[in-house]
Amino acid sequence: MSDSHGKPNRIKIRFQIAALLIAGCLFIGGDLFAGTNWLESGKNMLNQLGQQPSSGEVTGALSESEIGAGLKEALRIGSETVVTQLGQTDGFNADSSIHIPLPDELQSVKKALSAVGLSSMLDDLELRLNRAAETATPKAKELFIQSIEEMSIDDVQKIYQGPDDAATQYFRKKMSPELSKEMTPVVEKSLNQVGAIESYNEVMGEYKNIPFMPNVEEDLNGYVVDKGMDGIFYYLAREEAAIRSDPLKQSTSLLKKLFGGK
């Protein structure tokens, strides 16, 4: 570095020291022993001056752009992990936390069919509902990427400074309508492909053969979409919290810098 850069800095430091010495003398007020702590106070003040963030920087030596880049990186990694996990075979079905049970309306149907030895038909239908959710989940990936790219500086700051599920709350509010719209045709197609609709029709045919049973109708498509989104956001919240607090989840240097000291 040339002297043109170093000289102003040295002059600045000298002025700061001089100011502190003058302030110390003023505080002493002529009594040497009355101000025995002034030098220590001066050192602390000088240290604080040296740690003041310059323009464009934020506390902790992280710039606004670094926070934005780090947070978006964390959310891309987290959302991709969740979509990959839930979008595979048994991603929903074998996970007790998000497994999709039969709708409440069909629980009474299962009870009635169990009495005539046909409960396995409902078990098969339940499996197919989970398969449909697993097939539709990858649709969420592009929507997550789009939502991350559309984040404003204000969104980033609120999420960074917010609770452990702040980003998940943001995504749920912003994405739910569009995600439901995107997943609905996929779930509808999947329910047919995995045989869920055929299975449902067979179940209801057997159920209607039982005398005096109340009429039951269920929107399987809407039910699977809602439960599928619940599962996605459930694991996104867990992944977000882990990235914020678990060093093992902070898989890049930028994530370590952003969350390592929190």
Confidence at residue 69, expressed as pLDDT on a 0 to 100 scale: 84
Q: Residue 117 CA to chain centroid, in angstroms?
A: 44
8 Å CB contact between 247 and 260: yes
Confidence at residue 127, expressed as pLDDT on a 0 to 100 scale: 95
Q: Which residues of the chain have pLDDT under 50?
A: 1-2, 4, 7-8, 10-59
Confidence at residue 29, expressed as pLDDT on a 0 to 100 scale: 44
Q: Which tokens belong to 214?
A: 């109340």
Mean pLDDT of the chain: 76
Confidence at residue 253, expressed as pLDDT on a 0 to 100 scale: 67
Q: pTM of the prediction? A: 0.69
Going by the DSSP 8-state scheme, the letter that residue 210 receives in this structure is S
166-193 and 196-208 helices cross at what angle (nearest 10)? 70
Distance CA 4, CA 155 (A): 41
Confidence at residue 52, expressed as pLDDT on a 0 to 100 scale: 39
Residue 191: name the closest of 161, 227, 167 by CA.
Answer: 227
- The residue ranges of every structural domain in the chain are 3-52, 64-259
Distance CA 198, CA 129 (A): 12
